[in-house]
Structures are given as C-alpha cells and as structure tokens.
Amino acid sequence: MSGNPMDNEPILVADSVTRRFGGLVAVNSVDFTIPEGSIVSLIGPNGAGKTTFFNVLLGVIDPTAGSVVFRGRRMIARPERIGFESLIWVLPAVLVGLLAALLAEAGIVSGRLLALLGFITLLILIGSLLLGIIRPVWYSKGLERIGIFRSARPNDMVTAGVGRTFQNIRLFHNMTAIENVLVGMHTQLHGNLLEAFLQTPRVKAEEKAAEQRADELLTLVGLRGKGNEAARNLPYGDQRRLEIARALAAEPKLLLLDEPAAGMNPKETLDLVALISRLRNDLGLTILLIEHDMKVVMGISDRVTVLDHGEKIAEGTPDQVRKDPRVIEAYLGAPAA
Amino acid sequence: MSASTAVPSGRFAARRQRLAEVSSRHRSWSIVVGIAIIGAILPVLANIPPFTLATPTNAWMDGFTNAGVWVLLAIGLNLVVGVAGLLDLGYAAFFAIGAYTYAYVASPFGNSILGIEFVTKVSPDLSGLVFWPMLLVGALVAGMFGILLGAPTLRLRGDYLAIVTLGFGEIVPIVFLNSDAVTNGTNGVGGLARPALPIIGSFSALNPWPYYISMLVLVAVVMMLAYRLVESRLGRAWEAIREDELAAAASGINTVTAKLLAFALGASTAGIAGVFNASKLVTVSPDQFTFIVSFTVLAMVVLGGMGNFWGVAVGAFVIYTINNVLLKVLNQFFDAVSFPILKDIDFIQLQFLLYGLALVAMMLLRPEGLFPNSRRQRELHTQVLEPGADELTTAEATTEEGQR
C-alpha cells in the first residue's frame, strides 16, 4: 500500500442504509464507505445500532431502505419486483403445459405420450421452483439483468468476498480447529458429489491442498500445532483467532470483525491488534472493525465512524473523533447543565 | 486395584485408537474387509449348535438379509439425522417410494398401470435383471421425493421439522392405500420379479444365499459411499449446519442446497432399501410402511450412535435380531423348559415395552449411543464452556434469527 489507504477506491459503499424494527429505528440513513486496503472502524456505545448495521452489510437482515454496493456490484437493497420472479418460476411449466394441451387438442399426441408430457411439465415446474429456492449465482445475476432484485444472502456475501467473525464466538465447537478452517474453505473447494463418491484424484489432491492451506492459516493466526484440538477446548483468545482463521479460509477481500476484542485481557487484545495490522499489511485485506471499546481501534484505524442511536454522529481520523464533543457526549453523557 | 485395572484398559484404548487411525486412513478397504469378515462369521454362527437349535440355518440367513435392509435404512437416516441434524420422522415414506417404484416395473399389475408389457412377456431369469438398474432408479425417485419434502421444510428445525416429516411419512402410505386404481390399495402389488443374475438365474425363496451376498455387497457399497460423502466438502458442510446454521452460512455454505442434498441422499438410501426389500418379499403393500418403521429406524440410529455409520449399522442389526429372532427364541425356550410365569409371557408382544426401556436406559447411561461419533461424544460429555455466552448472545441471536 502506498500513500494513504483512504485515497483508494472504495471496496464497499453503503448508501443511506436504514433499518427499522417496528417503531424503533435501529440504523438511520447511514452512509459509509470502505476504501480498499484500509482499516476502518465503527464504534458507538451499547445499542447504537452497530451490530444491526453490520448484519445489514452481511445480508443477514434486509435493510428497510438504502443499498450496499460491494466491488461495484449492488448486493444489498430492498427487494425489487420480486412478484415477477414467481412468474418466472411458473412460466416455463405453463408454456410446456399449454403446448401439450394444444398438441392433444390437435390430435397429435395422446395416451401415454400425453401423460409423459404432463410429467415433464411437472418436472419443469419443480425444477424452476427449486432454482428459486437454491438461487445459484448465475440465476440471481440473470434476474438482476431484467430488473428483479433480491438482497444477497450471507453465503452469497462470502462468495463475493466478504468474511466475518461473530461478536459472540460462533465456532463449530465440537469440531477440531482444523475442521473449522476446512468448513470455512467451503467456497474455495469445488469437489462435487460424484467426485466425492468416486474419490477422483482431483478431489483427493484438492482435499490435501486444503488441509495444507488450513495449517498455514492456523499458523498465520498463531494456532500452530493446535489443529487437532476441539474448538471448544481452546482458550478464549484462541477461539477468537480460530474464528478469524475460518473467515480467512474463504479468501475474502474484506474482513468484517464484530467486537473481536470483547472479553479479552489486555495482553490478548494487544496480540489481536498486531494480528489485524498484519492481515492488512501482509495479505492486503481491507478490514472493518466494529468495536465498543475506543482504545482498541484508535491505534490501528485509518478512519473511525461513530454511531449513536442509529445515526452517524462523527467520522474522521482517530484523533479527530477522540476530540469530537458529540462523541464525548455520546460516551460520557451530556455535561451537567 | 485401580492401577491394575487401568493398565489393560489403557492398552485396549491404545489398540482401539490405532485401529481407528488405520481404518480412517484406508476407509474404503476397512469397510470392505469389515463387511467381509462379518459376512463370513454370520453363516458360521448360523450353522453351529446353540443357534441351529432355535432356528434352521436358512431362516437365520434369511433373517440376516432382512437385517441388512434395516442396516441400509439406518445408514441413510444417519445421513439426515446424525450428520446433518435434520430430525426426520417420516423416513418410511422413502422406503415405500423405493419399494413401489420397483413394484411398478417388476410386477404384472404395475406394468399394466405403466402401460408396458415387461414381466409378462419376458422370462423371470431375464426380467429379474432389471432389479440391478432399478436399485439406482429407486434411489433416484426416492431422492427426488426427498427434495420435494426438503424444499418446504428448509426453514424449520427441531420439533417443527419433526412434525412436518411425520406428516409426510403418514401421507405417503395413505396415498398408496387409498389410490386403489393405481396401487391396488390395501392388497398392495404382488407377484414382483425376483432379482436375477446372468449365470445363476432368478433368485429363489428357498435359497437365501444370493440375497445374502448381494445384501453384503450393497451394504458395503452404501457404507463406503456414505463415508466418502461425510468426509468430503459436503459432509463438512452438513456437520457445520448441524452445529450452527448461521455460522455455516457465514462460512459460505449454501445451507439450502446442503439441506436439500441431505434429504435427497438420505431418501435415496431408503429407496435402495425399498427396492431390495420389495424384490425379496415379492410384494408391497401400504402396511409395510407405517410409522413404526420410521420410529424403529430412528431408534436404531440413536441406540447405535448418531453420526457413526458403523455404529448405526450395528445398532440396526442388533435391534432387528432382537426383535425378530431373540424374542421368538425366548418364547420357545421358556415354553420348552416350562419355566413358571415366564412361559406365559409373550415376549413378542412386549417388543415395544423393551424398546422403550432400552431407549430410556440408553439416554440415561450413554446418550451418545453404543458406538458414538467422536464429535457427538464431545457434544454430550464436555461441560458447556462457551466463553462468549453472555447477555449479548441472546440479544444478537434474536435479531439475527428473527429477521429472516
């Protein structure tokens, strides 16, 4: 990275994102950009709407208004014209069914052939409905081209290149550390069902390479040699690291860390901060940190955004934010009158 | 005292550990060898005194083959319940679908419905050949129904999923029962072609061996495929979904596809079992596929050890044998020695009482099953130490899961 990463092209742009829960406005019209290669932080007191905003960015919940663009592609927004989508589900089946009816009327097909056509119609209907449920990437992209839009789901965001960790650790506790990382590698592996059944050389090689890569990732986050321990038996700080390794396994471009230092002691926090800078400097990752604790983010952030009651109240370098009277008020309360 | 007992158990544990390592390194070979050994021991047992006294050898062999059907069912249900964590109480439906699929192709009645003349025109030595491809077709058809059941239940889990699958399991036999015109209703479809092989010709009811050996091969193949599946990328995805669905999605797993595949593959195993069972009984009828079947398979999976294919296979074998042989033998034995009180008890009628007792005892003493999967064991025997669990957990869980 040369120069100030804040001058880079944005990797993610959130445009006036709003999310209401009934009467409560959890996130109110927040604009937010993340320049590529930067470390930006989102802070705010408890209940400021940080996690809600985060969940909108990740496709876990839909925004009430606004949109999120990641690497030039609109990923998250209110659904558009999804009524037409159901038309697409039934249209092929209806067309084939009509064709069959016409042919039967004209006396061209009858009896068993007609029954077969009816069966095919049914299969087409089921197939297109399944397509709508599974929503492969090409399907969503095709729909978008004709103006039908649905927000990406969490797994679509991972495929697009966004990794995340959770505020409360959500590892696969009964799996070993290395298995956790291998699950994270899901989008990077391509072995299909048939290959798994036949154990083709390709899929064997892929699995072997995956295990090697998982080892590398564990080493990177400082868990070398702990690969075979059950995730639940790891100490707290290691579990946090393992979550980061699992997120890295999907080779993300942007890593979203939700309160990574929560519950850590000062030593663990320092190690974590070092790890985060290393991820940016060595791997060229862009990082969004959500923190509740100002001390953690001040040292490493290129920019800090402060949320309070769902609204952005300040944005700037750590120093600017630290001195901002509104931020001080949000954290410490208004000065006594 | 404690020291002297610790040594042999330690050595035993180490030996077991080594065995486990070798078998996981050469999974497919270990399955073939394991099944071959078991397949060789069973006929020997069926030929030696204490066993031959109770039942003739051929009846034993026949029973072992039937037990194999249940082993297949247990392996399939283990994919759905044990690995992917989707509680399926309607598993018998797929068993039924597999069986009826075979019936349509391999019986005169089924042929007349399909409008083909296959069984009636072709000699049994030839028509029985259709059994082998039908194993695949039955798997495919049942798998398709698995997807049909899976699709509307994707958002459900735990108890809710169980209820919907229970409903599906009831609907399927009832449809077969009431669609008289196409399924022959209560009487079911009879006169199915027995399997055949090129040289030995059609299998016969009197000779259990061809059935027994094909069942061994089938179990070995299905078990091998199941292990390969579970140790693949998809298997890991299933495990991940069972542990934490949101985290699985955040790892890039398309949970929808993965769950549909779990349902489909579990169902297709039941389809294979259905085809085999139909070809062996030579008849299918709706009363073969009641809820008791689903429940029994689930009990086999739970007792055997959820998540471990060898475990559930042994569980299925043991439960089937107890149900169908041991209880009968107990009756005969106590009658023969005219033991007071016990000779008046009909053990076969106590079957479900014994089940219930066994399940309760199991849940209290060894909830992970007889031969647990290592992960399950961890799940049930480690103190829950989840450091991040504080009041934020519930708050986040409700916002994250409640909104979509």
A3 falls in which pLDDT band (50, 70, 90)? Answer: low
- Domain presence at residue A167: no
Contact with chain A for residue B383, Cβ under 8 A: no
Residues A190-203: tens digit of each pLDDT = 888 899 998 899 99
State the pLDDT at residue B397.
40
Query: Is A265 in the same domain as A313?
Result: yes
Between CA B133 and CA A322 the distance in angstroms is 73
Residues A162-176: tens digit of each pLDDT = 999 998 899 999 999
Of A126, A135, A179, the CB nearest to B236: A179
Q: Do B388 and A169 count as a contact with CB atoms less than 8 A apart?
A: yes
- Domain presence at residue A166: no
- Domain presence at residue A137: yes
The residue type at A335: P
Residue A115 scores a pLDDT above 90: no
Of A58, A207, A239, the CB nearest to B387: A239
- Domain presence at residue B325: no
DSSP, residue by residue, A267-312: HHHHHHHHHHHHHHHHH--EEEEEES-HHHHHTT-SEEEEEETTEE
Least confident of A231-235, B18-22, B61-65: B18-22
Residues B256-315: tens digit of each pLDDT = 999 999 999 999 999 999 999 999 999 999 999 999 999 999 999 988 888 899 999 999
Between CA A153 and CA B253 the distance in angstroms is 10
The phi-psi region of residue A44 (left if phi > 0; otherwise alpha if psi is between -120 and 50; otherwise beta) is: left
Q: Write the CA distances from A38 to A24, A253, A281, B97, B124, integer angstroms.
A: 32, 11, 10, 57, 74
Query: Is A157 in the same domain as A185?
Result: no
Residues B228-243: tens digit of each pLDDT = 999 999 999 999 999 9
- Smallest CA–CA distance, residue A263 to chain B, in Å, is 8
State the pLDDT at residue B10.
66
- Domain presence at residue B308: no
Least confident of A210-214, A297-301, B68-72: A297-301
Query: Is A247 in the same domain as A182?
Result: yes
Residue B20 scores a pLDDT above 80: no
Query: Is A128 in the same domain as A180?
Result: no
Query: Is A46 in the same domain as A157?
Result: yes
Q: Please, are residues A66 and A15 in contact by the beta-carbon 8 Å criterion?
A: yes
Question: What's the total number of domains in chain B?
Answer: 1
Q: How many CB atoms lie within 10 A of CB B404?
A: 15
Query: ipTM of the predicted structure?
Result: 0.89
B382 falls in which pLDDT band (50, 70, 90)? Answer: low
* DSSP single-letter state for residue A262: T
State the pLDDT at residue A111.
78
Between CA A32 and CA B321 the distance in angstroms is 66
Q: Please, are residues A239 and A247 in contact by the beta-carbon 8 Å criterion?
A: no
Q: Do A196 and B229 count as a contact with CB atoms less than 8 A apart?
A: yes
Query: Is A26 in the same domain as A156?
Result: yes
State the pLDDT at residue B25.
77
- Domain presence at residue B347: no
Q: Do B233 and A184 count as a contact with CB atoms less than 8 A apart?
A: no
Of B244, B257, B403, the CB nearest to A61: B403
Query: Is A156 in the same domain as A40?
Result: yes
- Smallest CA–CA distance, residue A16 to chain B, in Å, is 20
Question: What's the total number of domains in chain A?
Answer: 3
State the pLDDT at residue A336.
61
**Quick one: CA dihedral B37, B40, B46, B51, positive or negative?**
negative
Q: Which residues pair with B189 in a beta bridge?
A: B284
- CB < 8 Å to A292, chain B: none
Q: Which residue among A207, A224, A251 closes a domain?
A: A251
Query: Is A329 in the same domain as A299?
Result: yes
Domain extent for B271: 54-289
* Strand ranges for chain A from DSSP E: 10-21, 24-35, 39-43, 65-70, 73-77, 162-164, 254-258, 286-291, 303-308, 311-316
Residues B182-212: tens digit of each pLDDT = 888 899 999 999 999 988 888 988 899 999 9
Q: Do A130 and B396 count as a contact with CB atoms less than 8 A apart?
A: no
Most confident of A135-139, A330-334, B95-99, B352-356: B95-99
pLDDT mean over B97-116: 91
- Domain presence at residue B224: yes
Query: Is A256 in the same domain as A337?
Result: yes
Query: Is A215 in the same domain as A324?
Result: no
Residues A62-99: tens digit of each pLDDT = 999 999 999 999 999 988 888 888 888 889 999 999 99
Query: Is A21 in the same domain as A136?
Result: no
Contact with chain A for residue B250, Cβ under 8 A: yes
- Domain presence at residue B36: no
- Domain presence at residue A11: yes
- Domain presence at residue B1: no
Residue B392 scores a pLDDT above 60: no
Domain extent for A218: 172-251
State the pLDDT at residue B398.
39
Between CA B250 and CA A165 the distance in angstroms is 8
Residues B125-162: tens digit of each pLDDT = 888 899 999 999 999 999 999 999 888 888 887 789 99
What CATH number does the domain containing A21 carry? 3.40.50.300
State the pLDDT at residue A30.
93
B9 falls in which pLDDT band (50, 70, 90)? Answer: low
Query: Is A92 in the same domain as A238?
Result: no
User: H or E stretch including A178?
Assistant: helix A177-184
Contact with chain A for residue B399, Cβ under 8 A: yes
DSSP, residue by residue, B298-350: HHHHHHH-TT-HHHHHHHHHHHHHIIIIIHHHHHHHHHHTT-TTGGG--GGGG
Enumerate the H helices of B184-232 as residue ranges.
Answer: 209-230
